[in-house]
Each structure stands twice: as structure tokens, then as C-alpha cells.
């Protein structure tokens, strides 16, 4: 099992980019608390107040969880989850959501290079232009998204 801090960091990033919803996080935290001998106080706070206080509260509490983790691992896990979601459902609606999540990841992630961040911004722009009929096809943008997610994952595995 991965360290609690690493798991909470994955959930923090995922919540921030829109991959998880507060109610899902609270349910996950409740299970962690049940399994723990002595749960972290920040997790107890999330369990009690997370849904009512919202995303920013949960994110700040996740930052308080004690422990260590590989700084590359949470981003790698998020990228894997986005890739899996895109492979399982390449519909325009899902691909557009994932594109937005990839864009959101650039604003909080500390391990992605500037080059990768610029390419993620470009994917978001391409989607916008494609849906307006100005540039390319949705299929090509989805293909590019998959390739970029694979590249990011490979890079993070080498660095992590």
C-alpha cells in the first residue's frame, strides 16, 4: 500500500483539477479513518467538514497530512488516470473534460517541465479551435492528448 501522504496528494491534485468530487473524497477518507489505528487529524477534519466546507478546505487539509512521498508519483498517478479515462471513453464530451483537467494540472503541478506545460496549454487551445471549426479534427486532438499523456508518464517514471 502506498503511503497515506502520497495517496492524499493524488486526491488533492485530482480534486483541484476536477477529477474527484468532494463527496467522493469524503467517502474515501472515511475508509482510511476506519482502517487507521490513529488517523491523521486533517483526515478527521475532512471527514467531518469536507462536504460542507468544500474543495478549498479539503485541499488545505490534505496539505496538512503528515508524511513523505515521491514528488513525481502523484502526478504520474493522475496522468495514468486521465489516460485510462480517455482510452475508455474517447467521446468529445469526455475528451474535452480531460483536456480541461490537463490544463488545470499545469497551474498546480511542480514536476512538469515548462515545455510539457506549454504543450498542455496547446491541447486546450486546439480543442477550442476544433469545436469552433477553425482547426483540425477532434480525433486528431484526442490522439495528440493520448500521445502527450503517454510521454508525460514515461518522463515521470524516469525522473521518479
pLDDT digits (tens, 9 = 90+) for 30-65: 999 999 999 999 999 999 999 999 999 999 999 999
CA distances from 90 to 49, 94, 108, 151 (A): 35, 6, 25, 18
**Cβ pair 159, 78 in contact under 8 A:** no
Give the model's pLDDT for residue 160.
53
**C-alpha cell recorded at residue 17:** 483539477
Confidence of residue 2 (pLDDT cuts 50, 70, 90): confident
Average pLDDT over every residue of 86-96: 92
DSSP-based helix, strand, coil % in the chain, nearest 5 = 80, 0, 20
CA dist 111 and 115 (Å) reads 12
Give the model's pLDDT for residue 150.
92
Confidence of residue 67 (pLDDT cuts 50, 70, 90): very high
Confidence of residue 159 (pLDDT cuts 50, 70, 90): low
When the pLDDT of each residue in the chain is averaged and rounded to a whole number, the result is: 91
**Cβ pair 123, 141 in contact under 8 A:** yes
pLDDT digits (tens, 9 = 90+) for 14-28: 999 999 999 999 999
pLDDT digits (tens, 9 = 90+) for 115-150: 998 999 899 889 889 988 888 898 999 999 999 999
87 vs 1 pLDDT, higher one: 87
Give Dmax (Cα) for the chain: 57
CA dist 51 and 143 (Å) reads 36
Amino acid at each position: 500500500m502506498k503511503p497515506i501522504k502520497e495517496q492524499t496528494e493524488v486526491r488533492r491534485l485530482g480534486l483541484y483539477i476536477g477529477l474527484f468530487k468532494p463527496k467522493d473524497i469524503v467517502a474515501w477518507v472515511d475508509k482510511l479513518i476506519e482502517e487507521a489505528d490513529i488517523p491523521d487529524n486533517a483526515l478527521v477534519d475532512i471527514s467531518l467538514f469536507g462536504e460542507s466546507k468544500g474543495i478549498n478546505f479539503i485541499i488545505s487539509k490534505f496539505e496538512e497530512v503528515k508524511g513523505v512521498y515521491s514528488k513525481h508519483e502523484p502526478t504520474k498517478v493522475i496522468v495514468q488516470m486521465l489516460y485510462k479515462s480517455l482510452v475508455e471513453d474517447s467521446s468529445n464530451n469526455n475528451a474535452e473534460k480531460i483536456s480541461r483537467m490537463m490544463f488545470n494540472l499545469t497551474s498546480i503541478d511542480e514536476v512538469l517541465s515548462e515545455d510539457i506545460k506549454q504543450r498542455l496549454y496547446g491541447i486546450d487551445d486546439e480543442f477550442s479551435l476544433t469545436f469552433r471549426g477553425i482547426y483540425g479534427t477532434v480525433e486528431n486532438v484526442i490522439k495528440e492528448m493520448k500521445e502527450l499523456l503517454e510521454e508525460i508518464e514515461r518522463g515521470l517514471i524516469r525522473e521518479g
